[in-house]
C-alpha cells in the first residue's frame, strides 16, 4: 500500500541543514565546508566539516560557538578559521592535521573576515574592525556593575551603520596580516573611508592587490573605485590608468603579470542596474580590457531563496594565465562558465538549478560548489572540469523522504510592449486541475535580483496550505540582460507595474485559480510593489507587505544606504516641492487614499535597510482609512534579512502570521 508523503510545515525550517563555503583540499580529494544546523534553545550554529574522497564526513569543530570561514593552507596541512570559541572575542584559529585547534590571534573585541593565506603559507591576510570602546562587552559589564546608563552614539560620518552589521559608528575595517610562526598581527593598510576592501595575494607572497573607493565622500559621490598594490613592507602604489566606476574582487593571474577585477566604468549611480563585467589589466596598470561586455551576462546576480543568504558580488577564479571560471546568473539559473581572455564564454554546468562557486584544487581541475534546485535543499557538490557535476552530501535526504515537495512549472508571456516575462507556478498539494484554488502572487526584493531555480521553503508552506503560488522576474530583475534590469532605474512603479499586472491578469484568467481569492505579498522592494499594487488596483482579496518601502522621501534619508542627490532616483529629499516631486510620485504611500485591500504589515525594528517607519506609515494610513490591517513588529535584535537568517522561533512566528492572514482573507 502506497503511503503519500506529508505536506511541508512551518516547523520544518528547523530541520534544514545548510551547507556553504566549500573549499577543496589542495590535492588529497577532500573538501572543507561549513554546515549550519538548528540547535536547542533556538540557536543556529555553524561548524566546519570535512568530506573525503570516499564521501566519509567528519565534523572538525565542536561546541556552542560557531566556526566559519575555513581556509586550507597552501600545502593542505592546516586550516585557518574564525570563531569566538576562546575568550568571547572573534579570533583566527588554526587547526593542524594532527593536534587541537588553537588561537592564532589575540585581537581586541571586534569583527574578522576574509581570511586569505599567502601562497608561501607564512602569513594570513584578513579584515579586522575593532569594536567601538564604548560598546564592547567589557564596557557593557562595567556599566551594569556601576549602574551607569548606556552611552550615546556619537556620529560624525554618514557611514555608521549597516543592516545585519548594526551600528559600528566611526570604527572601520582595516587590512591586517598575521605571521603564522610568530603569531604577530599588524595593520597593513587602512585608506578607505568606509572600510570596504577586496584583496588577494601576489603569487610570490610579497604584496596584495586591493580595491576600494577613492572618494572622500563615497556615499555622496559617483562610483570611483581604484586598485592599489600594497607591499608587505607597507609600500602603496595606485594602479595607473584605470577609469572611474565600480571595481571589486581584484586578483592576480597565476604569473602575477595580469590583474582581473569585476566592475563597470559607469559613473552614474547605478544601484546595480548595469551588468558587472570582467576586466583584465597589466599588473603595471594601463587601460583595462573588458572581456565580458560584448555579451549580456552579469557577474553579480543574486538568486533569492530562504534556505541560503542572498549572495551579492562577483564570484570567480583564475584557471590559467588565459582563462577564468566565473559564476553567472541567467534566466533564473545560476551556472558556472569558463571565460577566456579573448571573451569566449563556455558554460561548464547546465540545468534548471543553482550552482554556487567555492574554492578550487591546486591543479585548478576540481571545484567545490553548493548545488540546489526547487526540489532539493542545497547540498555540497563538486565539479570536475571536463567530467561534470556531482552532489556529494545528503544532509536533508531523510527530511525529503518524509515530505511532498511541489515542483514549479515555468511560463513565459509577452507584455503589451513586447517584453518577454518569465514566471513560475507551484500548484498546491492534492492539486486537481478541474478545481479552483486561492492563489498568492509573490514579488521578490532587490529589485535587482532574481527568483529562480532554487528551493524556497515559504513557497512550499503556502502550497502545502492549499494555495497556488506564482512568482516572476518582472523588469528590474537581474539575469535577463542589462536592458531588462535597467528598465526601472529611478522609475519604480512603471514598467515593473506593467509586468506585475500581466502576471495578475494571467492569474485571473487561469482556469484553476479563483480570481476572487487572490493575494499579493513581497518583502523589501517586493513590499514596495505590494504597496503599489494595493494603491493602484483592487484585484486582490488580501495583501502582506514585509520589510517594505512606502515613502521614497523619508527612505532617502533613513536607510543605511541613503539616496544620492539626483542619483539613481532623481530629486532631493531635503529640497522644496519641485525637488521631491519625483520621489513622491514613486512613493506607494502617495496613493493610499485608494487602498481597500486588507493588509498585514510585517517589519523588524532592527531593519536598517528599510527603516521600520516605512511600515509604520503603511499601517497608519490603513488604519486612518479604515482598511482591515494588522502590524507585526519584530524586535530590534532582528534585521532586514530575518526571514532568511533570523532566529527560528521568530521565523516560524512570521510564517504563522502569513498563513493565518491568508486563511482569513483567501
Provide the pLDDT for residue 257. Answer: 98
Q: What is the dihedral of CA 327, 329, 332, 335, to 10 degrees?
A: -20
Whole-model pTM: value is 0.97
Q: Which residues of 75-113 are buried (b: 16+ CB within 10 A; e: fewer)?
A: ebebbbbbbebeeebbbbbbbeeeeebebbbebebbbbe
Number of Cβ atoms within 10 Å of the Cβ of 467: 26
* Whether residue 613 has pLDDT greater than 80: yes
Provide the pLDDT for residue 36. Answer: 97
Phi then psi for residue 166, to 5 deg, are: 85, -155
pLDDT in tens, 255-292: 999 999 999 999 887 788 999 999 999 999 999 999 99
- Average pLDDT over every residue of 359-375: 98
pLDDT in tens, 388-418: 999 999 999 999 999 999 999 999 999 999 9
Query: Is 170 tagged catalytic?
Result: no
* Whether residue 1 has pLDDT greater than 50: no
- Average pLDDT over every residue of 141-169: 97
Query: Is 640 tagged catalytic?
Result: yes
The percent of residues in the chain predicted with pLDDT above 70, rounded, is: 99
pLDDT in tens, 206-215: 999 999 999 9
Provide the pLDDT for residue 492. Answer: 98
- Average pLDDT over every residue of 51-61: 97
Contact 607, 637 (CB under 8 A): no
Candidate list 83, 524, 604, 629, residue with the active-site label = 524
pLDDT in tens, 173-192: 999 999 999 999 999 999 99
Provide the pLDDT for residue 604. Answer: 98
Q: Cα 320 to the chain's mean position, in Å?
A: 29
Strands 513-523 and 437-443 come out as parallel
Mean pLDDT of the chain: 96
What's the length of the chain? Answer: 666
Helices 457-464, 648-665: axis angle to 10 degrees equals 40
Can you tell me the distance from the alpha carbon of 526 to that of 532, in angstroms, rounded to the nearest whole number? 10
Contact 496, 476 (CB under 8 A): yes
* Whether residue 491 has pLDDT greater than 70: yes
- 3-state DSSP assignment of residue 665: helix
Provide the pLDDT for residue 336. Answer: 98
pLDDT in tens, 460-470: 999 999 999 99
Which class in CATH covers the domain with range 406-551+587-665? alpha beta
Candidate list 202, 444, 457, 640, residue with the active-site label = 640
Q: Which residues of 591-618 are buried (b: 16+ CB within 10 A; e: fewer)?
A: bbeebebbbbbbbbebbbbbbbbbbbbb
Provide the pLDDT for residue 643. Answer: 94
- Average pLDDT over every residue of 98-107: 95
* Whether residue 3 has pLDDT greater than 70: no
Q: Which residues pair with 472 in a beta bridge?
A: 423
- Average pLDDT over every residue of 598-609: 98
Amino acid at each position: 500500500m502506497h503511503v503519500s508523503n506529508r505536506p511541508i510545515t512551518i516547523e520544518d525550517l528547523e530541520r534544514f541543514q545548510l551547507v556553504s563555503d566549500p573549499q577543496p583540499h589542495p590535492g588529497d580529494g577532500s573538501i572543507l565546508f561549513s554546515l549550519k544546523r538548528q540547535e536547542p534553545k533556538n540557536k543556529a550554529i555553524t561548524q566546519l566539516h570535512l568530506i573525503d574522497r570516499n564521501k566519509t564526513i567528519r565534523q572538525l569543530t565542536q561546541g556552542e560557538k560557531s566556526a566559519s570561514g575555513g581556509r586550507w593552507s597552501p600545502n593542505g596541512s592546516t586550516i585557518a578559521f574564525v570563531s569566538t570559541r576562546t575568550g568571547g572575542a572573534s579570533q583566527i584559529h588554526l587547526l593542524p592535521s594532527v593536534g587541537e585547534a588553537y588561537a592564532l590571534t589575540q585581537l581586541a573585541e571586534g569583527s574578522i573576515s576574509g581570511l586569505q593565506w599567502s601562497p608561501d603559507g607564512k602569513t594570513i591576510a584578513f579584515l579586522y574592525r575593532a569594536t567601538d570602546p564604548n560598546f564592547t562587552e567589557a564596557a557593557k559589564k562595567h556599566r551594569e556593575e556601576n549602574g551607569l546608563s548606556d552611552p550615546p552614539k556619537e556620529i560624525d560620518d554618514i557611514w555608521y551603520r549597516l543592516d545585519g552589521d548594526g551600528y559600528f559608528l566611526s570604527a572601520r575595517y582595516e587590512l591586517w596580516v598575521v605571521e603564522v610562526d610568530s603569531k604577530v598581527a599588524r595593520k597593513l593598510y587602512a585608506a578607505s573611508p568606509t572600510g570596504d576592501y577586496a584583496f588577494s595575494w601576489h603569487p610570490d607572497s610579497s604584496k596584495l592587490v586591493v580595491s576600494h573607493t577613492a572618494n572622500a565622500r563615497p556615499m555622496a559621490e559617483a562610483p570611483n573605485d581604484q586598485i592599489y598594490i600594497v607591499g608587505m613592507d607597507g609600500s602603496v602604489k595606485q594602479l595607473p590608468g584605470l577609469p572611474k566606476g565600480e571595481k571589486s574582487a581584484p586578483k592576480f593571474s597565476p604569473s602575477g603579470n595580469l590583474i582581473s577585477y569585476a566592475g563597470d566604468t559607469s559613473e552614474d549611480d547605478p544601484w546595480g542596474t548595469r551588468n558587472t563585467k570582467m576586466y583584465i589589466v597589466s599588473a603595471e596598470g594601463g587601460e583595462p580590457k573588458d572581456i565580458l561586455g560584448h555579451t549580456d551576462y552579469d557577474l553579480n546576480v543574486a538568486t533569492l531563496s530562504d534556505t541560503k543568504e542572498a549572495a551579492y558580488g562577483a564570484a570567480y577564479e583564475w584557471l590559467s594565465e588565459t582563462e577564468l571560471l566565473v559564476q553567472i546568473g541567467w534566466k533564473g539559473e545560476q551556472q558556472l562558465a569558463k571565460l577566456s581572455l579573448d571573451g569566449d564564454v563556455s558554460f561548464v554546468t547546465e540545468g534548471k538549478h543553482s550552482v554556487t562557486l567555492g574554492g578550487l584544487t591546486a591543479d585548478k581541475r576540481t571545484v567545490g560548489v553548493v548545488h540546489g534546485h526547487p526540489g532539493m535543499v542545497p547540498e555540497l557538490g563538486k565539479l570536475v572540469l571536463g567530467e561534470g557535476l556531482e552532489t556529494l552530501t545528503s544532509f536533508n535526504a531523510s527530511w525529503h523522504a518524509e515530505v511532498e515537495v511541489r515542483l514549479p512549472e515555468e511560463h513565459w508571456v509577452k507584455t503589451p510592449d513586447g517584453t518577454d516575462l518569465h514566471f513560475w507556478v507551484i500548484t498546491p498539494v492534492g492539486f486537481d486541475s478541474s478545481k479552483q484554488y486561492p492563489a498568492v502572487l509573490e514579488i521578490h526584493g532587490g529589485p535587482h535580483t532574481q527568483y529562480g531555480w532554487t528551493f524556497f521553503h515559504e513557497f512550499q508552506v503556502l502550497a502545502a496550505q492549499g494555495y497556488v503560488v506564482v512568482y516572476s522576474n518582472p523588469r528590474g530583475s537581474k539575469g535577463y540582460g542589462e536592458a531588462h534590469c535597467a528598465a526601472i532605474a529611478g522609475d519604480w512603479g512603471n514598467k515593473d507595474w506593467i509586468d506585475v499586472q500581466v502576471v495578475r491578469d494571467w492569474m485571473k484568467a487561469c482556469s484553476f485559480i479563483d480570481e476572487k481569492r487572490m493575494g499579493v505579498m513581497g518583502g523589501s522592494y517586493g513590499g514596495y510593489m505590494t504597496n503599489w499594487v494595493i494603491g493602484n488596483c483592487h484585484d486582490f482579496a488580501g495583501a502582506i507587505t514585509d520589510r517594505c518601502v512606502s515613502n521614497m522621501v523619508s527612505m532617502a534619508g533613513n536607510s543605511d544606504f541613503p539616496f544620492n542627490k539626483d542619483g539613481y532616483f532623481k530629486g532631493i529629499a531635503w529640497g522644496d516641492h519641485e525637488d521631491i516631486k519625483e520621489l513622491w510620485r514613486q512613493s506607494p504611500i502617495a496613493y493610499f487614499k485608494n487602498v481597500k485591500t486588507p493588509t498585514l504589515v510585517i517589519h523588524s525594528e532592527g531593519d536598517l535597510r528599510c527603516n521600520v517607519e516605512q511600515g509604520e506609515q503603511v499601517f497608519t494610513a490603513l488604519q486612518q482609512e479604515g482598511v482591515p490591517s494588522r502590524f507585526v513588529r519584530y524586535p530590534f535584535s532582528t534585521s532586514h534579512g530575518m526571514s532568511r537568517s533570523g532566529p527560528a522561533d521568530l521565523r516560524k512566528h512570521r510564517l504563522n502570521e502569513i498563513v493565518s492572514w491568508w486563511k482569513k482573507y483567501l
